Each structure stands twice: as structure tokens, then as C-alpha cells.
A = this chain, B = another copy of it.
Amino acid sequence: MHDVAVIGIGQTKVDEHWDKSLRELSGDAALAAMADAQVGMVDSIYVGNMMSSVSNQQVHLGAMVADWIGQRFIEAVKIESACSSGASAFRSAYLAVASGEIDTALVVGIEKMTDSPSDEITAALATAADADWEVDNGLSFVGLNALLMKRYMYEYGWEGIDFAGFSINAHENAVQNPFARFRKAINEDQFINSPMICEPINLMDASPIGDGAAAVVLTRADSLSPNNAKVLVVGSASATDTISIHNRKTPTWLMAAEKTADAAYAQAGVSPDDIGVFEYHDAFTIMATLSLEACGFASPGKGPVLAKEGEIKIGGRIPVATRGGLKARGHPVGATGVYQIVEVIQQLRGDAGETQVPRHTFGMTQSIGGSGSNIVTNIFKRER
């Protein structure tokens, strides 16, 4: 295995991009990442996307992106693992470069969701759950998360307001991120008074959809000058869990998050204490909580304490959603995993402006597909 470095990042604002087609949005992020990496050609493209066949009547996004950005004849595929598709695309690219077969790889996460009626998008999101045993029984994706949250609150005695800190932190950080969809701070009153979507999940517990694309360029670290600062991938792991929540022994524990975080820590030779920034998958506040616990940042049932005590803020023990997170940067599902990586690289480079974290040697990303049924965790390290 060769060491792999991230040498370029690019992103579009998460928004309603009605004036941009799927290829244009992908291309904007891809070309920005290639310009940042100062490369004119790449050897392979890995596109992360979940629902373009439904929302854009287009599959085959590998070929579409390669063609659109002028990378003719190179290898290109799409990778899908529901809401963690972007992270899985990154992982495929990482393995291809690490193998030595591919020198330079481009990863593009893309999702364009706001052209479709919201009932179609709700149905498309539910395809991430189990069609036979969850969706056929009437569950939507937010419904599944509501069941999880209710169970968690029952087991550990928390109330809805105890999750407010996750969303308040995300919105506060998004104000400083020009690529975020909702650059507005919210307070506890706004959180608790927001409309209920599916009890106990209210509008401020849930991340918004959106159109967006993010991209990174990877290359073999040994091809770079040893004297230059660089960001290396020092830990990478991916794991599945049962696709239906009801098949899990402990539904309120994200086993695949624990397993991938432990594997990534071991590969990187670090512990949770070494992580200076964590871009987690706060699709719902319950997922934020469960992710922090499974990764060892809080003990079981204690995730909300981190939010209540401000430990997740910039300068706190484990800063999360530092560019807005899924909650306020927005969650264009197949793109999100790549946005998280772009944002951690910004932090490790020291380019995160007003939301720069102080300790920035190690950064971690975690992306969750389905209700915890696929999880990808990566650790990045800034060298010099």
C-alpha cells in the first residue's frame, strides 16, 4: 500500500441550483479541485451519488463527469452506498491510488434534489432503508430516525431540548461558510418552537436537502516533494450493519461507526483525544449523538452532554460541524461525504477562517448510509 495524499479540494454552495444541470454542478466542483491541486488531467474518477436515476433521469455519472470536464477516455465509475455514497467514492479512490494502479484520482460527490417534487424525494430517500421490511410497512427515512431517537430518549432520559446544542453549533458555524445553505444562527427558543416533523424529530433536528457538488483530488504521497506541507489519509475504514434497524441487537448503538472508528484510529496510531476536528453525519441530531458515542467521544447515552457543555464548539474538546455540518451546510445526500472531507482538509490546512480549530494535525470524517447500515470513517493528518 502506498501513502495517499489529498492535494486538491473544490465545492459549490449547497443551494437550489435551478440554473445548473447535473453535469454543470459536478463540473464546477471537479474543476475547482483540479485547479487547487494544479493538475490538468487525472487517471480515474469516482463519483458519489445516490438518486440521480430518480431525480435527474440520468445514471452513468462516471462517464458523464469525465466527458464534461474533458477527461476523455479515462476510467470513471459511480459508487453508491445511500447517504454515504460520497464517502464510499472517496474510499474507492483511496484504495485505487494506494494499490499503485492509479496515480491520481478525482472524487466527485454530486446530488441535485430540488428539481423534483418533495414527495418523490421523500420516496427516493426511503430507498436507503429496507424496501421489504421497513418501507413496505409505511416507514419513511425520518420515521426510522424518529423511532431511534424516541428509544434513545426513553433509555437515557433525555428530552427534545437536550439535542438543541448540536443544531445551534452547526448553524453558528455555517454563518462563516460561504458554501453553506443556511447561514443563519438559531437559538434555543427557535429550536424548541420549530414545527414537529415526526415526533420527536422537529424541523431543527433534521438536516435540509439541497443541490451541491464537492470534489477532492488524491495522489500517491511519494510523488510529492518531501519538503512541502501535505495532508495524508492515515486511516480509512468502511463497514456495514443490518439494513433494517429491527435486526440490530442494540439499535441505539452504531456498531459500524465503532468498528470503523476503531480501525481508523489503529491505522493512524491515534486515540479520540488526538482528533482536533470531526466532521460527523448530523443528518438528524440523534445521528450526531450516536456517532459521537460510537467513536469514543462520549460514553453511551452521554452524547448530548457534549452539546450542552459546549465541547463540540470551535475551541472545545471535539469541534464538530465546523463548516455547518449536514444541518446547516446542507445534505445533498450523495455529495455530503465529499463535503465533509473538503471541510476537514480546509481545517488541516488552516484555511477555515473564523471557524478554524486550534488543534489541526488530525481531522476525522464519518459518513453514515441508511440508518447506520453503512459507515465510512477516515482520518487525515497534516504533515509539516
In the complex, which residues of chain B have a beta carbon less than 8 angstroms from the beta carbon of A75? 237-240
Q: How far is the CA of A82 from the CA of B59 in the complex (A)?
A: 6
B79:A78 contact, CB within 8 angstroms: yes
Assess whether A240 is in contact with B81, with CB atoms less than 8 Å apart: no
**Per-residue contact bits, chain A 137-180, to B (CB 8 Å; 1 contact, 0 not):** 00000000000000000000000000000000000000000000
A77 and B92 alpha carbons, distance in the complex (Å)? 9
Q: What are the residues of chain B within 8 A of A74 when measuring CB–CB?
A: 239-240
When distances are taken between beta carbons in the complex, the residues of chain B under 8 Å from A82 are 59-60, 63
**In the complex the two chains form, is B127's CB within 8 Å of A73's CB?**
no
Cross-chain contact B370 with A63 (CB below 8 angstroms): yes
Q: Report yes or no: A67 in contact with B98, Cβ–Cβ below 8 A.
A: no
A23 surroundings in chain B (CB, below 8 A): 132
Among residues of B, the one whose C-beta sits closest to the C-beta of A100 is B1
Kindly supply a per-residue 1/0 record for chain A positions 41-68, scoring 1 wherever the CB is within 8 Å of any chain B CB and 0 otherwise: 0000000001101101111101110110
Q: Which residues of B contact A256 (CB under 8 A)?
A: 73
Q: How far is the CB of A260 from chain B (nearest CB, A)?
A: 9
Contacts of A50 in B (CB 8 A): 59
Say yes or no for A308: interface residue by CB 8 A criterion: no
User: Which residues of chain B are near A102, meaning CB under 8 Å?
Assistant: 95
Q: Quick check: B67 and A242 within 8 Å, CB to CB?
A: yes
- In this assembly, does A224 line the interface, its C-beta being within 8 Å of a C-beta of chain B? no
User: Interface extent on A, as a size class?
Assistant: 35 or more
Identical chains in the assembly? 2
- Fill in one digit per residue for A118-140: 1 if any B CB lies within 8 Å of its CB, else 0: 00000110111011100100000
Q: Give every chain B residue within 8 A of A132 (Cβ-Cβ).
A: 21, 23, 58
Contact of A369 among B60, B73, B81, B259 (CB under 8 A): B60
Q: Which of B53, B242, B255 contacts A51 (CB 8 A)?
A: B53
Cβ-based interface call for A241 (8 A): yes
A373 CB within 8 Å of chain B = yes
- Is A57 touching B135 in the complex (CB atoms < 8 A)? yes
**Complex CA distance for A58 and B322, rounded to whole angstroms:** 32
For residue A222, CB closer than 8 A to chain B, the reply is no
Tell me if A342 is interfacial: C-beta within 8 Å of chain B.
no
The answer to whether A240 and B127 touch (CB under 8 A), given A80-B77, A99-B95, A99-B99, is no
B131 with A63: CB separation less than 8 A: no
> Are A101 and B60 in contact, with the CB atoms below 8 A?
no
Report the nearest B residue to A66, measured CB to CB.
Answer: B240
Q: Do B99 and A57 have beta carbons less than 8 Å apart?
A: no
In the complex, A288 has a CB within 8 A of chain B: no
Contact A60 B374 (CB under 8 A): yes
Which residues on B sit within 8 Å (CB–CB) of A373? 60, 63, 67
Shortest CB-to-CB span from A233 to chain B, Å, is 12
In the assembled complex, the Cα of A374 lies from the Cα of B66 at a distance in Å of: 10
Chain B residue, CB-CB nearest to A78:
B80
- Across the interface, which residues of B come within 8 angstroms of A54, CB to CB? 53-54
Taking a contact as CB atoms under 8 Å apart, the answer to whether A77 and B78 are in contact is no
A184 close to B (CB within 8 Å): no
Task: Decide if A243 is an interface residue (CB 8 Å cutoff).
Answer: yes
Q: Give chain A interface residues in 223-244, CB to chain B under 8 Å.
A: 237-244
CA A240 – CA B74 in complex, angstroms?
Answer: 6
Q: List 8 A-B contacts (CB under 8 A).
A: A51-B53, A56-B131, A59-B80, A60-B369, A73-B239, A77-B92, A80-B80, A99-B101
Closest 3 CB pairs of A and B: A99-B99, A58-B131, A60-B82
